[in-house]
Amino acid sequence: MKTRRLGEWLEITIPMKWEGFTIERIMKKEWNVPRKLLHKFRTEKMVTLNGVSKHWKQTTVQSGETLRVRVFEPQPLQVTPSYIDIDVVYEDDHLLVVNKPVGMFTHPSQPEQSDTLVNAVAFYFQMNGFEASPKYVHRLDRDTSGAVLFAKHDLAIAMLGEQLKKRDIQRTYIAWVEGKIKPSHGTINEPIGKDRHHAVRRRVSQGGQEAETSYSLLHYESAENASLIKLQLKSGRTHQIRVHMSYIGYPLLGDELYGGKKNLSGHQALHGAKLAFIHPFTEEKVECLAMPGGTSIFKPEHVRLLEQR
């Protein structure tokens, strides 16, 4: 899909596959624009065809014509910007992928909190002249490092949110677990619910939400009796990887909440190493690798193993 930014407008060259579609079909069926945003686009004449505002239901588009949507209008900042260095993995006009460090919350839980990844990205936006609040597509636990996907405008967050709901955004993690995992690959399909006896902990529970985790062995470290594994989720439940691995007898290193032994890092050994998805506007495949750094228990070579398997 051929697209470009023109000031506050996104311009799309109509592809052959949209030939004869109405503007309304493109907005509702191809892009799944939510109702509230549809209403805004329509009433404020934020969609044009060849530079002219047209009737959505009556106007059909032809290949090569230009559709413009005003998605980059300035928006009030709803979070306090904080100067914190961030590791940008991928960026374009619509999206930002940031490598979250261990020990940082993804977003504020209190209005006065200003040391989260969202606060840091807000500052990054401000310094780069982008007037909008960061919109995270998914979250990571405070003590899980790795790639977090942000959208830069309302249409992008709506489209990426739909992809996430349909499980079209592939998130790949690496983890160190205790022992030599057997079998070397498998799928855990067990529902997860809250633990009635603990405010934070989750547990496998037949009354919980469905959850599926696939894993495979990347490397066994005999000196530490620990397995480095690759994990992929077909759902995104709270603490899903930690609960499932503990359930089958291989808790994450350092994950004391779920039966893991205490280690020097003081937290679970889990890293969101890779994001893969289809770009909502260009329709190109985007793959992002988040390399661990600093004092992380993981090394870049651990992430590179994903590309070799």
What token pair was written down for 75?
A: 């928006």
Q: Contact 232/216 with Cβ under 8 angstroms?
A: no
Q: Is residue 199 classed exposed, middle or buried when 0-12, 13-18 and 19+ CB atoms within 10 A define those classes? A: exposed
User: Beta-carbon neighbour count of residue 23 at 10 Å?
Assistant: 22
* 87 is known as an active-site residue: no
From 85, 87, 141, 168, active-site residue: 141
Cβ-contact 241, 252 below 8 angstroms? yes
Inter-residue contact 237 to 201 (CB < 8 Å): no
Is residue 231 a contact partner of residue 241, using CB atoms and an 8 Å limit?
A: yes
Distances (CA, A) of 62 to 15, 26, 56, 233: 8, 12, 14, 40
Point out the residues that are catalytic.
141
